[in-house]
Amino acid sequence: MRTRVLCFVLAALFLCLSATALLRSPMGATPQKRSKDPFLEGQSFSLRQVLNMIAGGYSDDRFEEVIAARGITFEVTEAIVTEIQKEGASARKLDTLRKKSRDVFSSGTPGTASTPQQTSGAGPLTLKCSPPECEVLFYQKRKDRTTGGTLTISDLPVGLTVVEFMKDGHEPQLMTLQLAAGASMDRDVTLTPTLSTKEQYGKELFGRLLEALGGDDGLREASSLVGSGELELWDREGRAHVQGSLQFLLKLPELLRMNVTRPSGNFSVVLGTKRGGARFPPDTEAKVRIFRNFQLAAVLSKLHEMEKLGDLTLLAMTAETPEESKDRLLDAESQLERYSITVGRDALPRRIVQRNTTGAGPTLEVSYSDYAPVGKTRYPRRMQFKVDAGAKEGGDFRLKNVVSSPNLTEKDFRTSGALRKALQKIPGLGSFVKA
C-alpha cells in the first residue's frame, strides 16, 4: 500500500515539472541554429584591407575574430608596424597581426599567404630613388642600397611584396608591389625631406645662389650700375603702351634715373631723389619701380640680411645639382613676405614669385635671363614681369650694355645731362650715348 502511494506522488511531481517547462517555452518552439557570418569566409586580407579595417574603427574583438578566420597575405615587419600605427591601431590589434603573421609565414599554411614563400620566378625589379642614395628594405627582411639612385634585383619571389625606402633626414616610404612570373617592373620614388632637412637644404641652396652671383662683392657691384637697352610696358589688356630705348643710372636701394626715347616723345623717370623726371605716361612709374626693386642685388641683399638676423626661413626640397636641366625651388619666408625662387642648374635665379604671407594682394612674377659677366657678378640683362599671377599687365626690359659704376652719387641722378656725362665716362658705353 505504501509503495503504491509513493509511486503516485512521484508521478504527480513529474507531471507538474513538465507542465512548468511547457509554460515557460513558446508553444511549438524549436531550437534556433546560429547563422553563419559571411565576413568570416573569403580570401586572406591584404595590407590595404587591414589598414581600411583599422581606419574604419573595428573593435579589438571583431578584428581578432576576422583575422583569425581569414588570415593575412603579408608578413608583419617593423616597416609594416609603422604603417599600421599611423592608422591608430591598438596594441591588441598589433598583437593579433603579429601572431597571425608568425603562424602563416612560419608554417606556409595553404590558402593564407603561401605565395610569398615561393623562392623564384619574378622578373627583374628596378627601383629608382631620389634623392640618392637610399636604403631599400624588403618584407623578407632583406636589405639593399641603391647605387647612383638605382637598384635592380632579379631573385624576388612571385606575389605580393612590400618595399620600404629609407634615407637619413627623410620620411620613409612604403610601396606594395605584386610581382608576376617572368615580368619585369620599374618603380620610381621621391622621398620627402623632414622639416629640418628642408631648412638645411634651403640654406645650402641659398648659399650656392649667392656664390654663383659673386657673393657679397658681386652683389655690391650689381647695386651700382650704368646701362642701356630697350623696354616695353603692357597695360591691363596686354597692349604695349610704352616702347622705346632706355638709358639708366642705378644705385640701390633707392636711386634710379631712366631716360626713355620713343617716337611719340621722350620722358624720364627718377626715383629716390627730390628732383623727379619729366611727365611720363600713366602707370609707367610703378613698372619702373619694379625694375628697381626686383634687381637681383636688391632682393637677395634684403633676404641675406634677414637670414643673418634669423628673421628668414629658407626651405628647399633638395640642394643637390639636378640632372639634365631641371630647376630647383627655394622658398624664403619672413613674417610679412614670401619669395619662391626658381634656381637653375647653374645656381642662377630664373624666376622670383613674391606674395604676402597672408595670401592677400597681388602675386608678382619676375623672370631673369640672358646672364652676362659684370665685374665679379653675373647680371641678367633681360627682366620680364607680370604685376599679378596670370595678368597681362607687366613689362620687358632688354639691356644691351651694363657696367658696374660704384662711384655714382645722388647728384648724378638729378638731370639728364648728368646721366649722359656718367655714361660717357664708362668705357664701352660712350658709343651709344647721345650727346
Number of H helices, E strands in the chain: 10, 18
Closest CA to 244 of 267, 227, 276: 267
Burial category of 150 from C-beta neighbours within 10 Å (exposed 0-12, middle 13-18, buried 19 and up): middle
CB atoms under 10 Å from CB of 348, counted, come to 18
Half-sphere CA count of 405, side-chain side, radius 13 A? 24
Between the two ends of the chain, the Cα-to-Cα distance in Å is 157
Q: What pLDDT does 24 receive? A: 47
Say which residues have a Cβ less than 8 Å from residue 69's Cβ, sequence separation at least 6. Answer: 40, 41
Q: What pLDDT does 254 receive? A: 94
Q: What pLDDT does 92 receive? A: 93
CA distances from 15 to 22, 30, 239 (A): 11, 21, 110
CB atoms under 10 Å from CB of 222, counted, come to 27
Mean pLDDT of 234-241: 91
Q: What pLDDT does 141 receive? A: 61
pLDDT digits (tens, 9 = 90+) for 114-162: 444 444 567 799 999 988 899 998 865 678 899 989 999 887 888 888 8
Please determine, for residue 287, whether its predicted confidence score (pLDDT) is greater than 60.
yes
Mean pLDDT of 372-392: 92
Please determine, for residue 13, whether its predicted confidence score (pLDDT) is greater than 60.
no
Q: Verify cis geometry, omega within 30 degrees of 0, for the bond prior to 131.
A: yes
pLDDT digits (tens, 9 = 90+) for 302-358: 999 999 999 999 999 887 776 656 789 999 999 999 999 999 999 999 999 999 877
| pTM tops 0.85, yes or no | no
What whole-number distance in Å separates Cα of residue 159 and Cα of residue 181?
8
Q: What pLDDT does 140 receive? A: 54
Strand ranges in 262-376 using DSSP code E only, listed in sequence order: 267-271, 313-316, 328-333, 337-343, 349-356, 364-374
Q: Residue 422 corresponds to which cell in the numbers above?
A: 656718367
pLDDT class for 262, splitting at 50, 70, 90? very high
pLDDT digits (tens, 9 = 90+) for 56-89: 888 999 999 989 998 887 778 777 888 888 888 9
Q: What percent of the chain has pLDDT over 90?
A: 47
Q: What pLDDT does 20 receive? A: 46
Integer-rounded Cα Rg, in Å, for the chain is 38
User: Residue 363: enclosing H or E segment and its boundaries?
Assistant: none
| DSSP string computed for 60-124 | HHHHHHHHHHH-BSS---HHHHHHHHHTT--HHHHHHHHHHHHHHHHHT-TTTS-GGG--SBB--
pLDDT digits (tens, 9 = 90+) for 202-235: 999 999 999 999 999 999 999 999 999 999 999 9
Closest CA to 184 of 156, 146, 144, 220: 156
Domains of the chain: 41-114 (no CATH), 118-190 (2.60.40.1120), 197-432 (2.50.20)
Q: Residue 173 corresponds to which cell in the numbers above?
A: 616610404
Say which residues have a Cβ less than 8 Å from residue 183's Cβ, sequence separation at least 6. Answer: 122, 123
pLDDT class for 181, splitting at 50, 70, 90? confident
What whole-number distance in Å separates Cα of residue 69 and Cα of residue 308?
63
Q: Residue 159 corresponds to which cell in the numbers above?
A: 606575389
Kindly state the greatest CA–CA separation across the chain. Answer: 157
pLDDT digits (tens, 9 = 90+) for 289-313: 999 999 999 999 999 999 999 999 9
For the chain, the average pLDDT equals 82
* Residue 239 vs residue 3, higher pLDDT: 239
pLDDT class for 26, splitting at 50, 70, 90? very low
